[in-house]
Amino acid sequence: MTTPELDPEDVRAHLLMMQSVITRMDENRRACKTWALTLVAAILVVITKFDASASGESFGLLETWIAVVPAAIFWGLDAYYLALERGFRDSYSNFVRRFRSGKLSGDELFEIKADDAGRRHFLRSLFTMSTLPFYSMLAVGIFVAWLVS
């Protein structure tokens, strides 16, 4: 069986497809942060409003956990998308490296998949400068709202 020839347009199209996947992962991460902030703020407003009108007391620890849960879920989703993005970026770099060295075969074109180090990428992604400060500040905001109310 012969391997297909590498057409430069096919290589370019493959790289564009990979770049669009990487961009989509970044957009998903941005959406996670937006939804997390919006949902947590809405939950805190609703809890504060109903608690104040019902009993005149501030909301307690149980109500605070209602706001922490979506923040934690979105933190995990954000880290998951970052891990996927890193996997695709590694795959992109390996593809370019193999192309430049002449070791790329035509069979590898249009196989879009992330690098297999997903778990390692996920655990590191939980504690990067693009996730940890945002979700830490969100948790601090929830804690301050609980203290102030």
Report the run of H or E that residue 110 belongs to, with start and end: none
8 A C-beta contact, residue 110 and residue 17: yes
Contacts of 18 (CB under 8 A, 6+ apart): 88, 91, 92, 95, 112
pLDDT band at 106 (very low <50, low <70, confident <90, very high): confident
Instruction: Give yes or no for residue 1 having a pLDDT over 70.
Output: no
Rounded to whole angstroms, how far apart are CA atoms 116 and 94?
12
Tell me what pLDDT residue 2 has: 46
Domain residue ranges of the chain, discontinuous segments joined by +: 8-148
CB-count burial class (<10 Å; 0-12, 13-18, 19+) for 67: buried
What pLDDT score does 77 carry? 96
- Range in 18-32, 71-85, 115-129 the model is least confident about: 115-129
Share of the chain above pLDDT 70, in %: 86
